[in-house]
Amino acid sequence: MNTLNIVKPPEGTKAPVTEPSAAPNFASKSVPRHLARGVIGFGLIIGSIAMVPVAGPATLLAAPLALIAFRGCPTCWMVGLAQTISRGRLERQCVDGVCTLTKADPAEKKAS
C-alpha cells in the first residue's frame, strides 16, 4: 500500500507562498511587458506562416524565434500572463487542511 506523508499547517494559519525556485515562474515584471512579448511571439508565428507564399518556406525559420519571446510555448505565455496579473493579489490560505485562494489583504502587505 502506497501512503503519502501529508503535513497539514496549523489551523487558522496562512500557508507559506511557494518559493519561486520550487514552482515554474513564467511571469514578467509588468503586464505591458508581458503583452509585448506576446505580440512579438504571435507576430513571428503569424508572419512566418503568412510570408510562405511570398518568400518561400525559408520564412518558417522565424517561427522558432517565437519560443524565445514566449519563454516556451504559447501556453507557457498564457500561464505567465495569469501569473503576472495575479502577482501579489492572491494568497493561499489553509484552514483545517483545506487550502483555498483568497484575495490578499493590501493592509497586510504595507505593514510587512
Contact 75, 35 (CB under 8 A): no
Backbone angles phi, psi at 67, to 5 degrees: -65, -30
Q: What is the pLDDT of residue 26?
A: 78
Is residue 41 in some structural domain?
yes
- In angstroms, how far apart are the furthest CA atoms of the chain? 65
Number of domains present in the structure of the chain = 1
Within a domain: 21: no
Q: Each residue's pLDDT tens digit in the chain (112 positions)?
A: 445 555 555 566 555 554 444 566 778 888 999 999 999 999 999 999 999 999 999 999 998 999 999 888 899 899 889 888 887 777 777 888 888 877 777 665 555 5
In a domain, 26, yes or no: no
Specify the pLDDT at position 20: 44
Domain span including residue 107: 31-111
Does 106 reside within a domain?
A: yes
pTM value is 0.60
Q: Judge whether 6 lies within some domain.
A: no
Q: For residue 23, tell me if it sits in a domain.
A: no
101 found inside a domain: yes
